A and B are shown apart, each in its own frame.
Chain A
Amino acid sequence: MFSKPLVAASLEPLMLSLLSEGEMYGYQIIQRVKALSDGNLVWNASKLYPLLHKLENKGLVTAVWQMSTDGPNRKYYRLTTKGEAALAQHQQEWRAYNAILVQLWGPNLLPTD
């Protein structure tokens, strides 16, 4: 549905935005994205987790393990202050970009709510 370069470019801001809603684990994130995009955007687990790990290494997110009764424990990811700052940066960029497109395409691009 979405082109590969767009997905790749929006991956980090989208992830940070999702986590700004609160703590989430990987499967939950995929489900949430699926719901938000009406099933148009389905993230692949084998890419999602490495991305999360990358963000973790960069210090933008942090993770805690929570005990599970069946099978392995569950790893929850949460935004760090550094991650919040990064998200703010992304938002600023995307808004500016959006403003350019709006000027060219008209305001229909904006959400209609």
Chain B
Amino acid sequence: MRPFDLNRALSMWRRAYRFNPAFSARDLDELERHLRDHIRHLHAEGLDLERAFHEAVFDLGDYRTADYEYRKVLWGKMRRLPTDYLDQSLAMLRSYIRLAYRSLRRNKTAAVINLTGLSIAIGVLVVCFVFVNRWFQVERFHTNADRIFVVGHTVERDGDEQKWVNSPLPLGPAMQADLPQVEQAVRFERYSTTVSYVRPDGERVADRQRLVFVDPAFLEVFSYPMVQGETSALTDLNSVVITQTFANKYFGTDDPLGATLDVALTPTLTRSYTVRGVLDRRPQASSIPFDVLLPFQTYDDLLADEADRDAWTQSVTATFLLLRTPEDVDAVAAQMDRYLALHNAVASEWIYTAFTFDNLRDLWRIVQDVRGEIAFAPPTQIFILITVISLLLLTLACFNYVNVALSTTQRRLIEIGIRKTLGGEKRHLVVQFLTENVVLCFLALVLGVMLAQAFLLPGFNALTGTALVIDYWGSTQLWWFLGAALVVVAMASGMYPAFHIARFEPIAILRDRQRLGHTSWLTRSLLTGQFVLAFITMFASIALVQNAQYQAQQDWGYDKEHLLMVPLEEARHYGPLAERLQQNPNVLQVAGTRHNFGENWGWATLDVDGIQMESVRFDVGTNYLAAMNVRLREGRMFEPDRQETNGVVVNEALVRARGWTAPIGQTFRVDGALYTVVGVLEDFHFFAFRHTIRPAFLRLIDEAAYTTLVLRTRPGTAVQTYDALAETWASFHPDVPFNGYFQDTVFDAYFAGNRRTVNVFAATATLTLFLSVMGLFGLAAQNVARRKREIGIRKVLGAHLLQVLGLVNRSFLVMIVVAFAIAAPLAYTGLGHLLDAFYAFRMPIGPDPFVAAFALIALAALATIATQFRAIAHANPADVLRAE
């Protein structure tokens, strides 16, 4: 016989209690301690261990009493203590999750439909979040972000107040000197020019770059991470600080620090700068683009007249102020009157009405409404559009969930009935169904994030030309968002079905009197609603595609074909180049210009009989209008042999704006100079079709100001001429690459933007249709499954399969027609507004998008319903009827 082992005996004793939930592990510890104390006591009195053990266990009392007493305490505790209640709840939760898993497995079709729909919707939501959140985080990485303000000003133009973010050149230094609240003032001036670098192997890298002249404190006020070099780098007048992106492009793997960059400051002045620092501009977190930073002193040097360096008439792109505290902004704003006076005293053409202050973090929000080129951000409509789209898809997915949940309940009625009979309360059932839904939503969330990472975000980037990434660990916002999304989606989709299902009376269920699903008005209206949305998005994308085609075929108001443009390095090259090219038989016309339609223009404030108005200004060469083939309405164009002193040509928009009935001979002043209208041109498009045609006037300039050479080529010889031109160019500038292009490409960026809009809509329409069709599929499948008996009987009585299919699904077809009837008028008005919001020149909405959308969606719906054909065909009436 084995000797008595106390520890073993105790663990045997403990085993009897271990799985009794009334005893916690700590309770058992305490009891065991008691036993041990008692045993030791008895052992000390002379009993052997084994007898002592049995005696002690006997004294402890019997199992049932202990169980009863402990249980009483436990129940008492459950009423009071949330922590222990949590234990119990967790056990329940485990059971719910197990049930959820089983029910999902049992109902695979429904699970797949819900999972796919919800995960796509959540994936889109994640993309939306990443897109929107990027902008809400913009510029926040600067340590001083809350204290950095940009100074702007307002002016009154055409009776409206305009806001500009540029400011007078001397303002920054003056404020820093005068106002104690201003810790630092940093001027910021944009400049775009060619920057070149000669690699050690002799190869020359050159490209146009976004240059910025900044005061040296820029690097200290802002917190761009320095990859190399110090924040004091710009104090040296010959130093340059570049961005990481620029460094990668120009230097590759070479060390950029200490390298020499050649900057073409003007056509005749190129200066060398030494790279003293490389910074990470954090393009994902910033709205202020630049490639190269140069000391502001250089800009001062560029100003021709030394007096301009502190002239209030000169302006810089932006002045940033670093204030001592964010609240100082009011105090600073209150002291601006003296600067207003200083500026307005010398700039009578451009009277400031006030200075404005905007925090750095808000810059992206205001850039759409202010003029200036400091920061760039997508227009507000895009944010609204993308948010609406993602919420729309989410709604659709939730509709699917509700519909499928309601229609599958039929199968679970018995389960519900039995649960209720066995004492399951309504709230338990609600919790059970909601848990099932949370489990499903959680799976969908995981899948959705994976989808977003793998397909949706790359797709979105490709469609819209962005470079967004999901930053999982960089911030907690994403996780908060996902958590909130889980709760909201689970509640939005699960609440109604859960309460609806939990409401049934067991007696009705078990007596088979409860019927639901196929008659539910909710199911019907949700499905109809889905198809309404599918129709609307489909209309919209078809209409946008058509509109894009319509715009591509629009007349630009001049002959854009066969026009070859050559940007000139220097104006003095125009003469010899033009002379050489005129000898080419394929060249019909040669002209020079400074501004070119669709590409660049100037602005001018016209003074017409004392009334100020804004107008676009084109500075052109003599032959430009003839070469462009602009149509003349009245008067004359510029003539080569006439010495034009103050004659200008205007467009019809300007004539309309002024209400001139006899425009020829009318006069206006610009900056004091008097101009006389000699000709009126038919309106032509110089902005793309998004904007109306603004009033514009064209004036003649000297050959010395030409920046572009214009060639009209003989039709069909474009390529030959281009090549010939490139050769001619090479003989003039062996170093500079030939940059000629055709005029019909100047709106390419606009059309590309258009295509992106169309793409976003088309993707939305596809996803919407997909989700709706999935919902329809789910309902149709459930419907067939539920009506097996009816189908069986109909088949026995000799009904044709197609007939059965039609009969069973008639209600769905009705819903689609109803959806179309609701969607069509909504879409018609909505589309008009949408197109108006996007485009000043848009196509009239015809019947085509409606016909096309209806055909497409009806076809998709029919195909979906037809998938049930197999289920019906394979249903053996004998089986169905016998099963009953």
Contacts and interface: CB of A to CB of B under 8 A. Distances in A.
Interface string B679-692: 00000000000000
A75 B61 contact: no
Interface in A31-69: 31, 44-47, 49-51, 53-54, 57, 68
B33 A72 contact: yes
B30 A50 contact: no
Interface of A: 25-28, 31, 44-47, 49-51, 53-54, 57, 68, 70-75
B73 interface: yes
Interface residues of B, number: 28
A27 B59 CA distance: 12
Contact of A49 (B31, B36, B37, B80): B31
A113 B65 CA distance: 39
Interface string B48-73: 00000000000111100110011011
A57 B34 contact: no
Contacts of A46: 60-62, 65-66, 69
Nearest to B77: A57
Given A45-B60, A57-B77, A75 B65 contact: no
A46 B59 CA distance: 9
Nearest to B81: A57
A16 B30 CA distance: 19
5 contacts: A26-B34, A27-B37, A53-B77, A57-B76, A72-B32
Nearest to B61: A46
Contact of B29 (A27, A51, A70, A75): A75
B33 A71 contact: yes
Contacts of A26: 30, 33-34
Given A57-B80, A71-B33, A50 B73 contact: yes
Nearest to B63: A46
B33 A27 contact: yes
A47 B30 contact: no
B573 interface: no
Interface in B223-256: none
Given A50-B72, A54-B73, A57-B77, A45 B65 contact: no
Nearest to A50: B69
A54 B76 contact: yes
B878 to A, nearest CB: 64
A47 B71 CA distance: 11
A45 B59 contact: yes
B634 interface: no
Pairs A-B, 5 closest by C-beta atoms: A46-B61, A46-B66, A72-B29, A50-B69, A27-B37
B836 interface: no
B60 to A, nearest CB: 5
Nearest to A63: B30
Interface in B744-760: none
B337 interface: no
A26 B35 CA distance: 10
Contacts of A25: 33, 37
Contacts of B59: 44-45
Contacts of A45: 31, 34, 38, 59-61
B27 interface: yes
Given A45-B34, A46-B66, A73 B29 contact: yes
Interface centre among A31, A44, A46, A75 (most CB of B within 10 A): A46
Given A26-B30, A46-B66, A57-B73, A70 B81 contact: no
- B contacts with A: majority SS: helix
Contacts of B28: 72
Interface centre among B27, B36, B69, B80 (most CB of A within 10 A): B69
Contact of B34 (A47, A49, A51, A70): A49
Interface centre among B32, B33, B37 (most CB of A within 10 A): B33
Nearest to B62: A46
Nearest to B56: A45
B73 A74 contact: no
Contact of A68 (B33, B38, B66, B80): B33
A74 B34 CA distance: 8
A57 B77 CA distance: 7
A53 B73 contact: yes
A28 B41 CA distance: 11
Contacts of B62: 46
A73 B66 CA distance: 21
A82 to B, nearest CB: 14
Contacts of A28: 37
A45 B36 CA distance: 13
Given A49-B31, A57-B81, A71 B60 contact: no
A68 B34 CA distance: 12
Nearest to A68: B33
B75 to A, nearest CB: 11
Contacts of A70: 36
Contacts of B65: 44, 46-47
A12 B62 CA distance: 22
Nearest to A47: B69
Contacts of B41: 27, 31
B869 to A, nearest CB: 65
Contact of A47 (B10, B61, B81): B61
Interface centre among B28, B38, B73 (most CB of A within 10 A): B73
Given A57-B76, A57-B77, A57-B80, A49 B33 contact: no
A36 B30 CA distance: 23
Contacts of A68: 33
B389 to A, nearest CB: 55
A50 B77 CA distance: 11
Interface centre among A28, A49, A68, A75 (most CB of B within 10 A): A49
Contacts of A50: 66, 69-70, 72-73
B31 A71 contact: no
Contacts of A75: 26, 29-30, 33
Contacts of A47: 61, 65, 69
A57 B70 CA distance: 13
B438 to A, nearest CB: 32
A49 B76 contact: no
B30 A72 contact: yes
A74 B61 contact: no
A49 B73 CA distance: 10
A47 B62 CA distance: 10
A53 B37 CA distance: 19
A56 to B, nearest CB: 9
B33 to A, nearest CB: 5
Contacts of B38: 27, 45
A23 to B, nearest CB: 15
Nearest to B66: A46
B68 to A, nearest CB: 9
